[in-house]
Structures are given as C-alpha cells and as structure tokens.
Amino acid sequence: MKHHVENQIDEVDRSVIVGIFDPGTRESEIRVVLDELELLTRSAGGLVLDRFYQKRSAPDRRYLIGKGKVAEIKNIACAKNANLVVFYNQLSNVQQRNLERFFKMKIVDRTRLILDVFATRARSLEGKLQVELAQLLYLLPRLTGRGVDLSRLGGGIGTRGPGETKLEADRRTINKRIAFIRGKLTRVIRNRDVQRKGRKMNPVPVVSLVGYTSAGKSTLFRALTGEEVPISPMLFSTLDPVLRRVEMNEIEEGYCFLLSDTVGFIRRMPAELFQAFKATLEEIVQSDLILHVIDISDPDYLRCMEEVRKVLDQLKIPENKIIRIYNKVDLLENHGEEYRDGNPAPGERIYISAAEQWGISQLKQAIFKTYFSDYGRYTVRIPQRLLNIDSLRNWAIVLTREYENEFIVLEILSSHENMVKFKEKYGGFVTCVS
C-alpha cells in the first residue's frame, strides 16, 4: 500500500510556491494569498511541499526575488526532490528565463497556473477553444529566448493545452491559430446572441450565479434545480455554463426562471481570461438577475466580495440587477442558528446554507419579488382570428387555453404593462385573477 502511494506522489508535480509582497503587507493577507496559490496548485494536480515569501519594496529585475532567497529556495526544493516552482507574481520574460536556468526545473507563474487549471476543466468545444486562446495569448510574447526548452520539461503543470508543436511554431503560425480560434468563438457568440434573443422574447427570466470561486455556486445550483452537478473543493470546478429551469410553484403556481451556473472569479483575474472568455461572460451580462453568492464563513469574505464587484463593474452590471446571497451560514459559530430561517437583513441580504438547504425558499421569494413584482394572473377571452398564440408566448406565460367556438380563452401570467398594451392592440375581455 505504501509503495502504491509513493508511486502516486511520484506521478504528480512536486511543487514549492513563492510570492513577493510589499513591505507593509500584513502576515494574515500573505497567508490567505499563499493558501489560495496552494489550492490552485493542488487543483492543477500538483503536490505542494513548501511555501516561501519575501517582502520587497521592488521586485528584482533578474529573479523577481533576491538572489540569496532564490538560492535558499533552490536548496530546499532540491532537498525535497521538487520539480516545479510556482510564483504568485507574474514573471517577465527575463525573470522566467533566469529562474529556469538557475533552478533547472519548471517555473510557472500564477497566470499560467490558472490557465493550466482551466485546461483540465474545459469539457465543451467552446470551453476548450476559450482556454486555448487564453493560453496562446499568454504564451505568444514569451516565446522568444525561452530558457529551459519545453521539450525537456516533460508533462504536467505548465505544459497542458496548446502543446509543444504549437509552442515551438513560429509567431505567424500562432497568430493564424489565434485568428482562427477568435473566428470560431465569434460564431459561437453570434449563435449565443440568437439564442439569447429567443430567450429575451420569453417572459421567463434568466438568473445567473456569480461569485468568488468555491463560494458554493454549484451547491446552490443543485439546491435550486434538484439536478446533480459536479461539486468539488478544487478551484474552477465549473467552467462551461449550465442552464436549467427552476419552478416556483410553492410561491405561486406557473412561475419559473432559468438558472445559469458560471465560472468562479478569483483575485487578480488574468487579463487573458477576460479576452478569451467573452462568450461566457456575456451570459452574465445578458442575464435578467445576478445572484452574487458569498461564502460568509470565509474570514476574508469582504475582500472576495470586492473582487467579484470589480468584475461586475468591469462588465457594467447595474446594481439593481444584483441580489447578494450570503452562503454557508451553517459553518458559522453556533452553526448559524440565527440564520436558519433565511430572514433577509437590511439591504435585502439573503442568508442561506445551500448544503443544508436553509433559506432556499426565502431566496426564491426574493427572486419573485425582484422580477415578478408587477406580474399578475389574467384570464383573456378573445376571437381566435385576432390572436397568434405563439406571439403571445413572447411576453406572457401561458398556463391554460380552451376553445369556445370562435373564441380562445387563456389563463396567463403577465406584467401589468404588457396587459395594457395587449388590451389596446387586441381588445377582447381581460380579467385580472390575482
């Protein structure tokens, strides 16, 4: 058994992680950053053997960290038989080359590591194309004068995605590949726009889950939809968006919404991801409501909230489309007893435990109140020749329909504004049921 475990460890990247920070950075903040970097490394399949940091007023131009610290880390890394060094800070071409020559092992920075995790998570053709584009955009300016040749680095972290053949090709070939992928993704976005326009003509709203990675979005998705989806403590476990229907019959029969689960955000999101994942992020922009899921059990949750807010601001999401959901209250002191009813606090905060399914009913009430507040149940009686039932479904939820001679009788859910327009255009008999 021991021999088997040792073989497993030999197959993974044995890693040390390193970061530099401003002299005034608090130890608690450094610990959070390195914890997250360690989780990223584990999410990519690496084993973290040790972690190091240095406080500097300015990075070293040759090695990022001081040469003495580099030597110290190399000695420990070699003693522990490490084969990978992961840097929190982005490395310049010169720093990357010098570090590879000094350590004689693989060197990756945090951006490359995140892209590597994405490469292991992508399942759909669109997701794989987005990852490859992001990796090529990252690697293109780093192809000149690389230190340790990639063909000698073997597999594992830092070598997934485009592969050696593409990386060793000339810039013209890579630029052609980038243009090709962008063209395919443009068609994906165009097709998505057609699908969204179809959804926009549908009175059922689209609600998107957003949040810091590991905030519990996938667990909440399962709690709301009842559908089994992969749930993992690893970062970026959800990469390709998932869309499912959620019924709200316990609030009022007939109402529903479409729920979309999206990729989690992280501090200092790499610029390459924003460029490449335009199609995925556009799904958030076009949503009718945004549920910002927050892990309230995380001592650093305020900083995580701020990171997500920056992304939403960058996407120009208006504040009135956002509902903040404070998740994992069961992990708080006293097991979140005071939040078990999910009662909203001032400012419409919703407290829930997606894992324990506390507060899910209150969350649905908040969605109902936010989107369907001006909706009502109506009975419409109108001559069949005046009404196209398919066009009616573009702005009303049709519950029932019956035919009485030349008349059609419908029970529908619609906004008051749409019913006024309907009455002006078609006439007929309209009765408000509720």
Residue 86 or residue 417, greater confidence: 86
What lies within 8 Å, CB to CB, of 292 at 6+ separation is: 210, 211, 305, 308, 312, 322, 323, 324, 325
Q: What is the CATH number of domain 375-432?
A: 3.30.70
Is 176's pLDDT higher than 80?
yes
Higher confidence at residue 231 or residue 65?
Answer: 65
Segment among 120-129, 299-308, 363-372 with least mean pLDDT: 120-129
Delimiting residues of CATH 3.40.50.300 domain(s) in the chain = 203-371
Per-residue pLDDT, 342: 52
- Helix 110-121 to helix 125-139 angle (10° resolution) is 160
Question: What does the H/E/C string look like for 346-357?
Answer: CCCEEECECCCC
Q: How confident is the model at residue 8, as a pLDDT?
A: 34
| 162 — pLDDT class (breaks 50, 70, 90) | low
For CATH 3.30.70, list the domain ranges present in the chain.
375-432
Q: What is the average pLDDT value for the chain, to the nearest integer?
A: 80
pLDDT bracket for residue 231 (50, 70, 90):
low
Domain 203-371 has CATH 3.40.50.300: yes
Considering the chain, what percentage of its residues have pLDDT values greater than 70? 77
203 vs 288: CA distance, rounded Å? 11
Is the pLDDT higher at 177 or at 159? 177
Q: Kindly report the pTM of this predicted structure.
A: 0.76
CATH 3.40.50.720 fits 2-111, yes or no: no
Q: Tell me the average pLDDT across 420-433.
A: 72
- Residue ranges of the chain that CATH labels 3.40.50.11060: 2-111
> What contacts 24+ positions apart, CB below 8 Å, involve 185-193?
185/126, 185/129, 185/130, 185/133, 185/276, 185/278, 185/279, 188/126, 188/129, 188/279, 189/278, 189/279, 189/282, 192/279, 192/282, 192/283
- Tell which wins on pLDDT, 14 or 230: 14
Decide: 378 and 433 in contact? Cβ < 8 Å.
yes
Give the SS3 label for residue 11: helix
